[in-house]
Structure 1
């Protein structure tokens, strides 16, 4: 008798739970029914549907929202500028895969090197399925030209990868002007120094090697400044209102969006590649190799050592790897005085790799990026920050970024880092 009573009580508990679930389901469906007729409640319905959807549906919804936001931005523009001359100008920027009917607008400092490698695979120039194995020596291969601009653009899957504008500008500065890069120093650094620095030294005017980040900001916001692709707003480079991109990827969700695009192109062998599934690790390994090669190649160029010493070049490269979150900020600079002049390429590579392995978790290292952002922009005068926000206005509106982020505009604290100083290493 006691056993029967126990079974009955268990059944009642399950029964009550079952009835509760039925009741909740009924209320949710009633809620949907009551609000489905109102256009103003689309956000509520989308939120409810998120709980019903599969992971891929989340991606589709987010990509749809990005596309709709870009479309709304374009509708607000006075001139959409879709003339034939605009499209012909765009042809120089767009990359095209005839077989896949796929268009991509490369944007500097938004994973463009990686996507350039992918395009060499798409177009059969490279036979590997690993983009990181694509040789830098074939980067200059010609891509398929777009002959009938309007037809091709209309009938292709159009893709762009974008990035938060303040972090993109800092990344470009770190790579092209702070890091060792004598070609860029000469072509762009000297121009910046000549225009914005009040009393430049003869060495600075000759080399262009010591541009500070505040100086770069003061230069790019000038209407008369000669613009470079690394510092031009994305909307000016890729004309979103003329091309009307189908997929807008973001650097902040780079891996996810890249795999989604490759899936849309039915490139299963690339999507399932272990290298791409472990993209963060692959990117870091590739960055260390590339950094080592760039350092040694630039030091071998005539004139480089007239602008910086071996030690300064190595320290800049070390800081750049820390800025990118590849080497931890607390890892000590490993080279002894004068060692930089005799160390070999393979030895440098081993030192960088070992430093990265000793740098803790990837999450802790990636905090370097945020800290360096605070440090860099804290040194820029407020009036130039305001001008920069106006310079970024179209990118912010078209791609849903905050144009006056509080972490930059309301950062009243002095930074506790010195990523852009090499004397203390």
Structure 2
């Protein structure tokens, strides 16, 4: 009965309405994940009434998603036992915020916010969440014990908090994990032994710097890791019971609303999207180059110049740089600062419209999924079946499945 229920829900024999525009949503993988809303300069055409109306609309969207999750949790409980796991809850007692984070769902932004509110960072010049380095956000030590709270402790005081989580279209989340962690070198050392054993002996070299998307998908189907585990296994909403469920596809507006409700809108004053993207590009360059120093496996498998070229391609995949623009000649003597300037200059001179950038990002992802077999697609669909149901995403988008349903 359980498997039949899931199959019927996946095939669309349910009351669920998919509320995502397409596989990639309304913005890019990177822009959605880390972009922040902007408080614009005063505009006579935008009144306080308009602003309040926009907030009500966003609040209604969040309420609809949260209600949908609650209903599906009740429905699923009849057939299956909830996963029940809630791995990571970050809290700030002063603002009563409780954030259950899921990797590849905008967690860099919200980790920065919670750490900033808790003064859980190193450095005297941190006057904004965005001053906390990406490397410190994900790999740095935590100094304030109140930043994280066990679920057992949180459960006893949960009614005092405004709890929230963010989710993402599962296929887009998986593709983003591949680009960030395997096209770029972050996880090479973590899974090199596993990947090597999957290859023919003649191709089982020490380095796994050439992992294909197909190899990555096969790996994710057989291993557990928070960056590609189903979202409900990282933070089960039926157990966490969030008061708001945000989406990466509407990350800026959802984040703005949550911050507004917590009287934290001031965090975004004076911050604009272009400045954020440039900070993101700079941070990703620095973060990946630093990996060469802290991970011996990495610098033995890729040179600095090769990493520069991969970063350039990754920025094209994510829509920051035009697909047709090749990088200039790069050398061993090229510094991080010089490469960063080249990237930023190219970004600032980009001629394309936002719509063209979205199409470029989407095309890269769809082309990657075309390399997968029908069997692999079916396996992915079933792996994330409960995510599709709980968070109201389409399990069989035409852009990915085509005639391979």
Fold in common (TM above 0.5): yes
In our comparison, the structure showing a higher alpha carbon Rg is: 1
User: SS at the partner of 2:331?
Assistant: helix
Higher helix share: 1
Q: TM-score, normalised by structure 1?
A: 0.74
Equivalence for 2:103: 108
In structure 2, list runs of 5 or more residues that go unmatched.
Answer: 1-16, 18-51
Structure 1 residues 366 and 411: alpha-carbon distance in aligned structure 2, compared to 1, 3 A threshold: farther
Counterpart in the other structure of 1:8: none
Residue of structure 2 in register with 1:29 after alignment: none
Q: How many Å apart are 1:369 and its aligned residue?
A: 1.4
CA shift digits 1:49-74 (9 cap, x unpaired): xxxx9322221221121011101110
Give the 3 Å change call, closer, same or farther, for CA 362–237 of structure 1 in structure 2: farther
The separation in 1 between residues aligned to 2:173 and 2:239, in whole angstroms, is 23
Equivalent residue for 2:397? 405
Which of the numbers 261, 265, 275 marks the counterpart of 1:282?
275
Deviation, 1:292, is: 2.1
Alignment correspondent of 1:255: 252
Native 8 Å contact 1:173 1:213 kept in 2:
yes
The 8 Å contact of residues 74 and 80 in structure 1, kept in 2 or not, is answered as: no
Matched, 1:154 2:159: yes
Report deviation, 1:154: 3.3
Which of structures 1 and 2 has the larger relative contact order (alpha carbons within 8 angstroms, sep 6+)?
2
How far residue 201 of structure 1 moved from its aligned partner, in angstroms, is 2.1
Q: Tell me the alpha carbon deviations over residues 154-210 of structure 1, each in whole angstroms, 9 at most, x when there is no partner.
A: 3321100111000000000000001133xx111124413423x3445242xx22222
Using a 3 Å threshold, how does the CA distance of structure 1 residues 382 and 283 change in structure 2: closer, same or farther? farther
- How do 1:16-415 and structure 2 match up within 5 A? 54-77=53-76, 78-81=79-82, 86=84, 90=86, 92-125=87-120, 128-135=126-133, 136-137=135-136, 139-142=140-143, 143-146=147-150, 148-181=153-186, 184-195=187-198, 197-199=199-201, 201-203=203-205, 206-221=206-221, 225-271=222-268, 273-275=269-271, 278=272, 280-300=273-293, 301-334=295-328, 336=329, 339-361=330-352, 363=354, 364-410=356-402
Distance 1:283 1:70, change over 3 A: same
Aligned-pair CA distance for 1:281: 1.9
Q: Distance in 1 between matches of 2:219 and 2:297?
A: 26
Which structure 1 segments of 5+ residues have no match?
Answer: 1-42, 44-52, 413-425
Paired residues of 1:177 and 1:189 also in contact (CA < 8 A): no
Distance, in Å, in 2 between the alignment partners of 1:239 and 1:118 is 22
